[in-house]
Structure 1
Amino acid sequence: MTSDLDALTSELLGARLRELREGTGRSLRSLAKDLGISPSAVSQIERGVLRPSVSRLLAYVTALGVPLSAVFDAGAAKEREEHAFAVRRSFEVAPIELGGGVLFRRLSPVPTRGLEFFESLYPPGAAADGHGRLLRHEGYEVGTVTEGELTIDFDDDVVTLAAGDSITYPCDRPHLIANRSATARAVATWLIVHP
């Protein structure tokens, strides 16, 4: 996962999350209640003081009713409407660095209704946890590990995927994705289909 752009800073990510929240008409307190955190914590995320984890970011966009791709840029939907096709070069999309050093990078050139297509990079020991519990969100997930090894813990099973292995499951099935290696990073591509 290489890019000429650095990962979005905490400040830029926070500002984008605040813009999305305000665009949906949600108050900070209302969103905090849905996320099960304090309004102060939401404010700290939106000011770039706290960097959200993977699970917190997914919970944030789910509570707002917007796709994960909306976090990456605001003008892409208009661009899609104005052109018969869209191209975005790899150096044009900065990844988002989340808590634990996990990086997300949108792979689709513009947001596509009902689909999320992205790449995730998990440094050694990183996990997309639900803050002490398994993660749930909307959609149906399809993933392929392209480098390293990822472990997915479900409520009743554990699956380990090596490079080239794929998996699919409903996102509302409780799960936790982790790189259990102490030395090697893991990279995967994901397609999430929304109803």
Structure 2
Amino acid sequence: MLDSGLSAAQISAMTDEDDDILSRLPARLKEARRIQGLSLEAVAKLSGVSRSMVSQIERGESSPTIATLWNLTRALQVDFAGLLEAGETAQKVEVLRADQVPTIDNMGEGCRIRILSPPEEAGRHEIYELLLRPGGMLDSQPHTRGAREQLSVVSGTVMVQSGDAVERLSAGDTARYAADIPHRIAAEGDSVQAFLIVTGG
């Protein structure tokens, strides 16, 4: 018999970890299917795994082979490794400290933009904090077709212009407008703090 170099306790811990992964798998697959809004039939059609097998796996009545699991994760558009990793990652709180937030100072006049959304959301759902000095302005060219912006003012007063439409916003006000045409946000009077959400078309 070959000596594995592992103690009985280490082997037992590895077995326990594998059992733990398998016990989490049914719920994770079911949750992934729910997020995608797919029925059992749809998953079966997309994955090539029978409906009854998908149902048994989700109920924990059958342990899938690696090939079956691979087909299911591709159908559900989830990461194969992420599906199996420890549950702590799903409960992790990602923190970006104030001094780590990417900042842009060279757009507009008297305008600082802090990028709050993750890089992978660029072009789809972007969130910014806008800090305008008195008289500061952010003059924007058209974004992609169908793009829109939502501006919520925390303090100060701004003039928002989208095409020919113009509105004045004060603290607590929110405006939504087309961003696929020239648009402008300009501080009136004091400094302004606002949050800007940009969604793609």
Structure ranking higher on relative contact order (CA contacts 8 Å, 6+ apart): 1
TM-score, normalised relative to structure 1: 0.49
- Larger helix proportion of the pair: 2
Scaled by the length of structure 2, what TM-score is found? 0.48
**Bigger-Rg structure (1/2):** 2
